[in-house]
Structure 1
């Protein structure tokens, strides 16, 4: 017997259990049913523009909604698929958890600061405070709603943070809320470049720079290097891993194809803070 033959006889291929196969079949059937329903609904006026002509995304939203207790029509109104991951409104998070015995209360609510307290059925407690300054640092205030209704936006951030900390198992590790993704594009000018912060500040700085007279391009020059440098500079001002996560999420919400250098800068700053 050769060494190769001996090696092959030692390999053990695990068998798929009947329970495992049954679960796979169940998931396949659920996906098929969700896709058929999504295909029909996506051709109606009853679904948000997010899902128009996107039955695959709609099916994923329906399946996720079913996992957390939402009916298909509710899921298509409340669940969004962003970069391959589900996102829901903060108020939807709270509604789902309240139905399971979680309690939430507002400790403080002003245009400058909102504090939300939450208690799980087991008695676990979490509190979160979001201020305008914190939102600015994270790059969220480019959303005009922070100027027109700051309390509502800060409340959504504080509420979702408490909900995610108390019940990651119920929310299935959801990372985004719809409020996180409502970032309005900012028209950049040279005069605003110095005051913009966060993700929009980076975009504004680069847009303003492009308006200036530029020398002849250098062959094979990577024009993403300026963007990476701007992002890296802003990351250096962030002090917590949460701030880094929020800032990177806001960038990805605006551009799903971020340069690898930007992603690497985010990971590096996160690991630096962790260390």
Structure 2
């Protein structure tokens, strides 16, 4: 009698339970990288991970070491100044998951956290944070026995609006670090302790990105510190030079314009104005306008010179000569040229912002110059566009 032995059937890998969270343990290395590349392209990610698949992969691996799923890792592990940070609530959850007993007493002006280790019930750690501690740490001030904390824009920070939540976060983080640091796996600080701007829940509002150097102070959208105060409007060196005939003042204005990186056309006009400063009334301005027109200067510079010449004290209306425009015609033509140049400059600025993927152009411009784009002249718009283009070129 012949007995035939059938080969054992291959056992297929057990599928992940329905509704279970994704994990690297369920993926091959190639699948994990593809998943991270896809995930990095979604706008729902925190800024530190967006378009950074390598950072997403690192975070997922870090979360796997902590036993966290992908979504929990991405939303609760924050990278501040290159270091992983956990929210206070995540620290609290991990301490309790490890079996440690945690008791929290939270009040408006103080918070007390007690942790008893599961492997040594007699070892109790007690940490208390009060508003006096926050004042000592430089996080807020006390005014009329109430916390006072403002950012550089004068807006209230969470320490002023949510002192109870902020005291609780500080007390939990310090207590977990002291009582059971093994549950933190190296991420021993909260985002606020690393200098990030956080909300009342301790999550960073804006996060530093290593791949996106700031365009300039006020154009920086993603960073780890609050935006600085808006920059002062740029000096009108040409108008200042036209308003004075003092040689020393003209030399100072010319030096300041050169140090500020004024456009070449500005420097040419300033140099010519310095050489002709002894003339009276609007004569030097008319000569500058003629010289600039002869060398093919940009229309917005011509319009600026015409406006300064017409408004300068002592300027006399030009007599109508054969072939010479009347003052009304000059004013009308100057206004048309100025508006056309401004419109062209605004269009070029918006194109540059679109190419640089800067959707907050109007708000950024308002913060820098203190006025909307619609009220800015062509020179200011050109200057802002060049800064955006320079920053976009450096980031590539």
Matches within 5 A, 1:185-204: none
Q: 1:95 aligns with which of 90, 93, 96?
A: 93
Q: 1:118 maps to what in 2?
A: 115
Q: 1:54 aligns with which of 52, 55, 62?
A: 52
Q: 1:65 maps to what in 2?
A: 63
In structure 1, how many angstroms separate the alpha carbons of the residues matched to 2:171 and 2:29?
34
Q: Secondary structure of 2:171's partner?
A: helix
Q: 2:159 aligns with which of 124, 131, 146?
A: 146
Does 1:161 pair with 2:174? yes
Q: Is the 8 A contact 1:57 1:81 kept in 2?
A: no
The answer to which structure, 1 or 2, has the higher relative contact order (CA under 8 A, 6+ apart) is 1
Q: Is the 8 A contact 1:156 1:179 kept in 2?
A: no
Q: Is the 8 A contact 1:113 1:131 kept in 2?
A: yes
Instruction: Give CA-to-partner distance per residue, 1:208-242, whole Å, 9 cap, x none.
Output: xx9xxxxx99xxxxxxxxxxxxxxxxxxxxxxxxx
Matches within 5 A, 1:246-265: none
Matches within 5 A, 1:226-237: none
Matches within 5 A, 1:167-178: 167-178=180-191
Instruction: Give CA-to-partner distance per residue, 1:145-193, whole Å, 9 cap, x none.
Output: 11111111100110111111122222123232134344379xxxxxxxx
Normalised to the residue count of structure 1, the TM-score between the two structures is 0.52
In structure 1, how many angstroms separate the alpha carbons of the residues matched to 2:197 and 2:136?
14
In structure 1, how many angstroms separate the alpha carbons of the residues matched to 2:183 and 2:85?
14
In structure 2, how many angstroms separate the alpha carbons of the residues matched to 1:125 and 1:89?
23
Normalised to the residue count of structure 2, the TM-score between the two structures is 0.37
In structure 1, how many angstroms separate the alpha carbons of the residues matched to 2:179 and 2:65?
18
Q: 2:83 aligns with which of 82, 85, 89?
A: 85
Gaps (5+ residues) in structure 1?
1-28, 186-199, 211-215, 218-275
Q: How far does residue 35 in structure 1 lie from its aligned partner after superposition?
A: 4.4
Q: How far does residue 32 in structure 1 lie from its aligned partner after superposition?
A: 6.7
Q: How far does residue 76 in structure 1 lie from its aligned partner after superposition?
A: 0.4
Distance 1:114 1:66, change over 3 A: same
Distance 1:81 1:113, change over 3 A: same
Q: How far does residue 129 in structure 1 lie from its aligned partner after superposition?
A: 1.0
Q: How far does residue 31 in structure 1 lie from its aligned partner after superposition?
A: 7.6
Q: 1:183 aligns with which of 167, 180, 197?
A: 197
Q: How far does residue 126 in structure 1 lie from its aligned partner after superposition?
A: 1.1
Gaps (5+ residues) in structure 2?
1-26, 141-148, 152-156, 199-204, 206-224, 233-254, 257-396
Q: How far does residue 90 in structure 1 lie from its aligned partner after superposition?
A: 0.5
Distance 1:36 1:86, change over 3 A: farther
